Structure 1
């Protein structure tokens, strides 16, 4: 019997900052903190079982909501620290996420929906992952799992198929029921995720405008300073030297 103490959020945060020592841009800090806490709490939950769809949800959430982070090179370090904070690796998460997403390459939405049929019979690849979820006695649903599921649908569906809110709700109700899970939380998480993506896109546009305006102001100040320096230089060049009589 394992009597080791359960790791706390503080333990996870300490491990995170041991692997990523640079400050995190304040605009993105909430995204990182929420992911860190969520990943930690799930990792210590006795009913939670890691699976590739969950991994895809974590990777997708991080990549989409960290878009535009500066310095860009820090994003790899931050994701590495997130995974290390729960005693995992970025290779594990990204490898599983890429593999399960690759499994829907070339599928139509109807093809993907077909993967959810007759899950009691098991299967291989994506169907096998779905069957394991559907046949668990105590499947611990999580928001990242819902986002991972949405990412798979997004990869197979046309953009038009995901425009209508009611159609999306009906689709995930159907998929959730085939996975033998409560669909209400799944539908709410998908709706919130889609809404947050829209808000984030709008916020990015605002940030771009602010950065562009800031660059323009800096350029104007630089030109003004250069013009002033040039004027002073010209004045000095034409001024009489010391001891030289003026024309008056």
Structure 2
């Protein structure tokens, strides 16, 4: 069976560039989580899981530089755990689109009996199968996917913990999922997002202070050169006299 070390080697082979230390833990934790799920006999990926992976990656990797490398890193995480990055993004995008313009009540009703037409139709059956799967393997990315859908419907409602817990509890019950585990996973996720935002703010402040110091030093050099030029001119004028 493929090991975590195998997946990590595959990742660093696919993306051999150094990774900013701030984000290394985010990437490795996501990689390990996806690996452990991929080798679990009871686990079957579904559109909600895909949405959770895509969303958590995008939000926890915000501010990564160079920005253009984020897609390469995401692709490497997916392929190293035997996933197709385009499939992740495609199914996540379609599911999120279906949630748009729905109220939370409409979303919950839809999740209980999902339906869709056209290209969106193929994501319906995997969602329907969740409630009927006695061995469904719950995962943190699944909870994040649910949370992302709720945010899309009513971002203000999910900021209220009591309201959020009530909604998550109802969804967990309808799918036969561990309600308390989902709530704790989402609290941790929200906490990690807040910490990342705070860290980025600190970095931004440090960079801004550094920029101002650099500009001040450059201005001082310019002023010094101007002063030296002025002195030289005065000397030349005095000599000429």
Give the TM-score taking structure 2 as reference length. Answer: 0.89
Residue 148 in 1 paired to residue 163 in 2? Answer: no
Q: Residue 220 of structure 1 is aligned with which of 198, 216, 223?
A: 216
Query: How far did 1:237 drift?
Result: 4.8
1:192-230, Cα deviation, whole Å (9 max, x unpaired): 212222232222222222221111111111111222233
Contact 1:130 1:179 in 2 (8 A): no
1:30-73, Cα deviation, whole Å (9 max, x unpaired): 11111111111111111111111111101000100111111111
Q: Residue 210 of structure 1 is aligned with which of 194, 206, 209?
A: 206
Counterpart in 1 of 2:54? 59
| Structure 2 stretches lacking a partner, 5+ long | none
Query: 1:72 & 1:91 partners in 2: Cα distance?
Result: 18
Kindly indicate which of the two structures has a greater share of residues assigned to helix. 2
Counterpart in 2 of 1:3? none
Q: Residue 133 of structure 2 is aligned with which of 128, 133, 136?
A: 136
Query: 1:21 & 1:163 partners in 2: Cα distance?
Result: 39
Q: Residue 16 of structure 1 is aligned with which of 5, 11, 15?
A: 11
Query: 1:238 & 1:18 partners in 2: Cα distance?
Result: 65
Matched residue count = 236
Contact 2:4 2:36 in 1 (8 A): yes
| Structure 1 stretches lacking a partner, 5+ long | 1-5
Residue 165 in 1 paired to residue 161 in 2? Answer: yes
Query: 1:111 & 1:218 partners in 2: Cα distance?
Result: 54
Higher RCO (CA 8 Å, separation ≥ 6 residues): 2
Q: Residue 34 of structure 1 is aligned with which of 29, 37, 41?
A: 29
Query: How far did 1:102 drift?
Result: 1.2
1:3-46, Cα deviation, whole Å (9 max, x unpaired): xxx11122111111112121111111111111111111111111
- Stretches of 4+ moved more than 6 A in 1? none
Say which SS state the counterpart of residue 115 (structure 1) adopts.
helix
| Higher-Rg member (1/2) | 1
